[in-house]
Amino acid sequence: MTLPGRSLNLQAAVERYVAVMETLRVDNLAALDAVLTPEARFVDPFNDVHGIEAIRGVFAHGFEHCPGMRFQVFARAVDGQHALLRWRMTCDDSSTDLVIEGMSELTLAPDGRVAAHVDYWDPAAQLYERVPVLGWLLRRIRRRLAAPVARDGR
């Protein structure tokens, strides 16, 4: 979609953002500067920050704790100034074999840069359940709260 009076193709802007995210590494976090507005907001289950420097800090922290962190976007939809991305984050370093799947909602500024990036994913199912005692407790709670149909598969 092209904005009235602008030659910017928002689909192309989303693809640029995806390319940055899929090639993001600890040594090229400055690549975010080209695809985020200066006051951009980033939200995930653990963070809610504003500004490129703070967003770079979130990713630097992620790479510190997961040196092999990689993102793969496997589905996207663009509607006006909003985009949805379905993604997989892997952490395949030698200490953990973590895979997290989620969705991001992007709000695009008129110039095509991302003004807000909000991640939606389930830390209980994808992270906390990997912790031995906590995982057992969360799986038990999940089973108790599940509808009877969900428990027996019918």
pLDDT tens, residue by residue, 33-80 = 999 999 999 998 889 999 999 999 999 998 988 888 899 999 999 998
CA 29, 15, 75 angle in degrees (round to 5)? Answer: 105
CATH number of 10-121: 3.10.450.50
pLDDT tens, residue by residue, 90-128 = 887 655 677 888 999 999 999 999 999 999 976 555 555
pTM score: 0.77
Q: Where in the chain is the domain with CATH 3.10.450.50?
A: 10-121
Cα distances (angstroms) measured from residue 48 to each of 8, 27, 77: 29, 23, 23
Q: How confident is the model at residue 3 (pLDDT cuts 50, 70, 90)?
A: very low
Half-sphere exposure of 52 (CA within 13 A, CB side): 12
